[in-house]
Amino acid sequence: MRLNVIEHDVVIVGSGIAGLRTAVEIKRRYGEKLNVGLISKVQLMRSHSVSAEGGTAAVIYKEEGDSLALHAWDTIKGSDFLADQDAVWLFVKLAPEEMRLLEHWGMPWSRRPDGRLAQRAFGGHTYNRTLFAADKTGFYEMQTLYNKLLEYDGWERYDEWFVTNIHIEDNEFRGLFAINPRDGEVYLFKAKAAVLATGGAGRLYSFTTYAHTVTGDGLAMALRAGLPLKDMEFIQFHPTGLVPSGILITEAARGEGGYLKNNKGERFMARYAPQKMELAPRDIVSRSIMMEIKEGRGFVDEASGYEYVHLDLTHLGEEKINERLPAIRELAMKHAGVDPVEEPIPIRPVAHYTMGGIHTDSYYRALNAEGRWVRGLFVAGEAAAASIHGANRLGSNSTTECLVSGRIVGELAAEYALRTKEAKGPARERVEREESWVYHLVRKERGTPTYQLRRELQETMNSKFYVFREGDQMRDGALKIEKLEELMWSEAYVEDKSKVYNTDLILALETLNMIEVGKVIARSAIARAESRGAHYRIDFKGRDDKEWLKHTLTLRYGERDVRLIYEPVRIDTWKPTERRY
């Protein structure tokens, strides 16, 4: 085989907000002293971050009553006390400067009438601290970061390349492998440092806000490389997914004053969170919606069979909706045939965010099972578990973390690369083994199409690992996922045998990643015998701090099995209390 090698000082996998922010930080600090490779499985500006709608949280106006301590407390309480508090403090301290940097780089933040930055209410926050750009915040943040990156030389983009695996040797990053779709060859990327900014795993569910590309690739790669995944049982279900598509209806719709109503016309959140109402944390609002549906106070979409409730914006008026929520109006009209100015929007909880991720420290350095840093390897954004969000993420903290983590790892990865003499790569045999692993499905002549296995996985996740969970049902789901993994290796095949732009092969590799991550979610969820944040078990309804105030770490065990270990939550400011809203 031909040995295809590409070398950079730092290689970044993922071109969303976290990946772009990392690249900008490296270039603005060190310019052409370091060469950067930016790998994206899609065209660079098509990363899923462009879909972020509602806003980005930070303390901007302390003189008006907000504070870093209040932001930290809201985040830790919202996490159901599973967040590592030192990581949260670092996060809230750096967030304001990130907002100001974006402002200086041209971010078109929405404004108050006096020209100051506008901030809106978001669930679980005790202060209106969410900055926004109408309801297209992620798109504008991406565009601002990309425009800033274009000011610099010494970086190269690899659009539509698919990274298959990372290689770690002697607890050090030694390269990663990727398929170039233009020739179908497997390439080795050598670098002194690498950053994984690959996002979450929301496409494990079919009713989801995620783009079709968000298939947990970075998480699966880390697992196969021997790294732990942390707290993967905690999948966030956003309360307001548009029925029947699952497209996100931003929390800003409630932040601007929208009401949740059942089929009796009641604002039912008064029963569940009387103080915060529609602006309670997402786990509480999602469970409340599902309880209304379960008790017969929902509606039914005849075409899809989905049960739902209403999000009513009609009282806001056309002018406010057009100013603050223009994209939401367009999405509702185009994908549900509903004009929010005149009638309510059909919504139900939808898979939205992966609270867990690759195990890191507070500075987003990848950690091994012993808690030691894997030299040269960093993780940013949703792929990382620092852990900021614990068992439940507060809305508008996600894009903030992408910015903050990108800033941190950009600086640390650059400094590490400058200290490192040369990039080390794996032995040639490892490269040959990777090519064999990538193309083993192509060599089969018949079997089960991988799209069928993907659909069965999504149906299993939808039914067994949704808002309400139960032990026996989850165990049935875990057995189904393990069977799908067996079929993936024994029966699955790729019909397209060509090399150039073989999207069938990419779908198969994504499906393998999804199944491996799904197994981790299942095992972690079954083991956690309590209800905490987004992990709500009807057979263990209470939170159990005595037994379960700890992080779940999931490791590869043997060829395909996994095992669980645990580590304590770092608590240095506030002791856990009952969550009341």
pLDDT at position 390 is: 97
pTM over 0.85: yes
Beta bridge partners of 553: 230, 565
pLDDT at position 429 is: 86
Q: How far apart are CA 232 and CA 529, in angstroms?
A: 14
Helix (H, G, I), strand (E, B) or coil at 297: coil
Beta bridge partners of 39: 13, 158
pLDDT at position 441 is: 84
Count Cβ atoms within 10 A of the Cβ of residue 427 and give its class: 0-12 exposed, 13-18 middle, 19 or more buried: exposed
pLDDT in tens, the chain (581 residues): 577 999 999 999 999 999 999 999 999 999 999 999 999 999 989 999 999 988 999 999 999 999 999 999 999 999 999 999 999 999 999 999 999 999 999 999 999 999 999 999 999 999 999 999 998 999 999 999 999 999 999 999 999 999 999 999 999 999 999 999 999 999 999 999 999 999 999 999 999 999 999 999 999 999 999 999 999 999 999 999 999 999 999 999 999 999 999 999 999 999 999 999 999 999 999 999 999 999 999 999 998 999 999 999 999 999 999 999 999 999 999 999 999 999 999 999 999 999 999 999 999 999 999 999 999 999 999 999 999 999 999 999 999 999 999 999 999 999 999 999 999 989 888 988 998 889 888 888 888 999 999 999 999 999 999 999 999 999 999 999 999 999 999 999 899 999 999 999 999 999 999 999 999 999 999 999 999 999 999 999 899 999 999 999 999 998 889 999 999 999 999 999 999 88
323-326: long-range contacts, CB 8 A cutoff, minimum separation 24:
323/134, 324/110, 324/120, 324/134, 324/135, 324/252, 324/256, 325/134, 325/135, 325/250, 325/252, 325/253, 325/256, 326/134, 326/135
Q: Is 105 inside a domain boundary?
A: no
Q: Is 284 inside a domain boundary?
A: yes
Q: Is 509 inside a domain boundary?
A: no
- Contact status, residue 233 vs residue 521, Cβ threshold 8 Å: yes
Q: Is 516 inside a domain boundary?
A: no
Q: What is the CATH number of the domain that holds 324?
A: 3.90.700.10
Residue 299 to residues 280, 306, 308: CA-CA distances in angstroms? 22, 8, 5
pLDDT at position 436 is: 87
For the chain, the domain total comes to 1
Do β-strands 119-120 and 307-312 pair in parallel, antiparallel, or remain unpaired?
unpaired
Closest CA to 155 of 41, 49, 24: 24
Catalytic annotation, pick one of 48, 129, 238, 528? 238
Q: Is 243 inside a domain boundary?
A: yes
Q: How far apart are CA 70 and CA 116, in angstroms?
A: 21
Q: Is 488 inside a domain boundary?
A: no
Q: Is 419 a catalytic residue?
A: no
Helix (H, G, I), strand (E, B) or coil at 192: strand
Q: Is 500 inside a domain boundary?
A: no
- Contact status, residue 539 vs residue 471, Cβ threshold 8 Å: yes
Determine the structural domain holding residue 274 and report its residue range.
Answer: 236-352
Q: Is 242 inside a domain boundary?
A: yes
Number of C-beta neighbours around residue 566 at 10 A: 11
Q: How far apart are CA 93 and CA 83, in angstroms?
A: 16
Q: Is 335 a catalytic residue?
A: no
Count Cβ atoms within 10 A of the Cβ of residue 424 and give its class: 0-12 exposed, 13-18 middle, 19 or more buried: middle
Q: How far apart are CA 179 and CA 482, in angstroms?
A: 27
Catalytic annotation, pick one of 129, 254, 348, 359? 254
Count Cβ atoms within 10 A of the Cβ of residue 319 and give its class: 0-12 exposed, 13-18 middle, 19 or more buried: exposed
pLDDT at position 1 is: 56
